[in-house]
Amino acid sequence: MKKNLKIAILGVTGAVGQELLAILEERKFPFAELRMLASGRSAGKSMKFMGKTYQIEEATPDSFKGLDLVLASAGGSISKALAPYAVKAGALVVDNTSAFRMDPEVPLVIPEINPEDIAKNKGIIANPNCSTIIALVPLWPIHRAVRIKRVIAATYQAASGAGAKAMEELKIQAQDFLAGRPVKKEVLPHQIAFNVFSHNSKVGPDGYNEEETKMVKETKKIFHDDAIQITATCVRVPVLRAHSEALNIETERPITPEEARALLAKAPGVKIVDDRERNYFPMPLETTGQDDIFVGRLRVDPTVKNGLAMFVSGDQIRKGAATNAVQIAELAFKI
């Protein structure tokens, strides 16, 4: 176990970058040196972390000399441009963007599901999309037990998925709407306050947006199961933080809600919140700041043979991004 790691956060000023710092401190991640990397706009600014003041540096191809680990969350184009330089300098890159997720040479890892894939890395390990992580952590124990044949997912995705500026836009729009002032749209394509709309990613010729396509492709890769059938409808909702998802699955062999609940109760990274009497189930308000994926509304889906329905919620910035990345690093360096 290496305890004197030299690490960098690429994209430190963003919502995920800031959460990465919090997770490193919270989990007592051992490092001897930390470099804070961002765009030229932020270079030269100072930031306090764990009682020390750091100066933010502009991320360039020369930023990675001597580093052991780079936690990247600066955007896909930046990762594509800079990650190869980090690898060449000898660092392991845990990348939180979509840049390398579907590269067959790059492991796509959720530690609760496929930690063994970490060993296959050639310098880069990809962190899955947040919606994929939040769905698959609770689906994996069921898949292992009775194999899931088909998944229908409907997501309720918070503003946090579009970054810190989108979260701020939701706050401002809500204030303006309630005060009777004109609502301005600058970050998201549609008004997010008191509204829902299809996920703000590009829609392909098949009618599916990129977020939906990611869930399909990433699930097959993480589960190592190309035969699993998946469809998704991804929607942005006026919630500040934490995504929720309605999941309907069809399994090869029958499983009752009670059997599924017993499996999930023992599963790492999962918390059962399933109180029918009180109508109390997972809520983004309560998963915010948590690493576990909350699971409830477990019930039979009578429309298919061996059908099961559930509702899940998880913090997009933590387990959906930063926590998962740090967990990967911990396993990679045997921390």
Whether 148 contacts 228, CB under 8 Å: yes
CA angle 80, 26, 42 (to 5 degrees): 45
CA distances to 23, 30, 114, 196, 212 from 5, in Å:
16, 7, 24, 43, 37
Spot the catalytic one: 143, 199, 234, 243. 243
**Burial environment of residue 293 by CB neighbours within 10 A (0 to 12, 13 to 18, 19 or more):** buried
CB 73 within 8 A of CB 109: no
Could you tell me if 281 and 247 are in contact, meaning their C-beta atoms sit under 8 angstroms apart?
no
Count of H helices and E strands in the chain? 8, 15
User: Is 143 a catalytic site residue?
Assistant: no
Q: Are 325 and 21 in contact (CB under 8 A)?
A: no
**Using CB atoms within 10 A of its CB, is residue 305 exposed (0-12), middle (13-18) or buried (19+)?**
exposed
Reading the block at residue 88, the tokens are 């060449």
Q: Report residue 301 as tokens.
A: 């889906």
Task: Please state, in angstroms and rounded to a whole number, the distance separating the CA atoms of residues 164 and 182.
Answer: 22
Question: CA-CA distances (angstroms) from residue 133 to 19, 23, 291?
Answer: 17, 17, 11
Q: Vertex 312, ends 308 and 315: CA angle to 5°?
A: 160
* φ, ψ for residue 283, nearest 5 deg: -135, 140
8-state DSSP, 29: -
From the list 130, 143, 199, 234, the catalytic residue is 130
Is 224 part of the annotated catalytic residue set? no
Catalytic positions, written as ranges: 130, 243
